[in-house]
Amino acid sequence: MVSNFGQVITAMVTPFDNKQSINFAQARKLAAHLTQNGTDGLVVSGTTGESPALSKDEKIELFNNVVDEVGGNASIIAGTGSNSTADSITMTKAVEKIGVNGVLVVAPYYNKPTQEGLFQHFKAIAESTDLPVMVYNIPGRSVVNILPETVARLAEIKNVVAIKESSGNMDQISEYKRCLPDDFDIYSGDDSMTLPMLALGARGVVSVSSHLVGVRIKEMINAYASSNAALALQIHLELMPLFKGLFITTSPAPIKAALNMTGWQVGGLRLPLVDVTDTERAFIGSLLQSMKLLGKP
């Protein structure tokens, strides 16, 4: 099985209203905007979407709304992973009926499984569904690192088709490319690592910054693919302050603040996450102004 997720995948925030309920109308509006501005696919209820703070019913309703709004115009990847294999299987089976194009399954956090435990976790989930599976490696949040040899074993499962890689370890990414099939897609999980990872054979990025600069990120990827490395580097350096600035504190607090400043009513965050501080808000506002992003959409 080959994935068809695209190059620029936005890890979409989950908008809340002033009572901390999901603002489904705003989620639909944001999804439509993103697909019209450089985004090929959407990760819904991922880390940026505050998945740990959403109930199963909320996730299902969110998936339904996004698929109804933009299904057919973008690939919809449902965040169904957790640190419980059984719960991840239940959620993955539930989204099959909705019409999503794939699932994102994060490495189990807190449990701290061995490499064999990681393999068995992802294998059990993949074998429970016909949907394409994107594995998510993010040691900074999950504590465990999925090693290249484990990913290679997973790639032998027909519907494990991609990995979102957020280790920041370029040697590991090189090893992925050495041991994985050519049709297995590697995605950068960090905006600032996208261009370096393209040089190592990555297909694209699961991005946070694409909420604001999706078209420009797509231009960077296309420039590199067209052998215009100089232009790709120029765009990368232009966007670098934003890539780093949107992670001055725990994500998705900065991107939600930025979206609110640019006219999107995405609300705050659910505990245990909190909004940016006044100092951080001032920094983000200055950054957006310097990049001529205020006043949008």
Rg of the chain on CA atoms, in Å: 18
Among 294, 198, 288, 197, which residue's Cα sits nearest to residue 239?
A: 288
DSSP 11-67: E----B-TTS-B-HHHHHHHHHHHHTTT-SEEEESSTTTTGGGS-HHHHHHHHHHHH
Instruction: Verify whether residue 164 is a known catalytic residue.
Output: yes
CA count, 13 A, side-chain hemisphere, 99: 13
Residue pair 31/69 in contact (Cβ under 8 Å)? The answer is yes
Structure tokens at 132: 């394409």
Active-site pick, 59, 109, 110, 136: 136
Q: What φ, ψ does residue 296 adopt, rounded to 5°? A: -105, 150
Of 29, 56, 164, 176, the catalytic one is 164
User: Residue 120 and residue 239: Cα distance in Å, rounded?
Assistant: 39
List CB contacts of 43: < 8 A, sequence separation 6 or more: 9, 10, 11, 12, 49, 77, 79, 104, 206
Q: Which residues are catalytic?
A: 136, 164
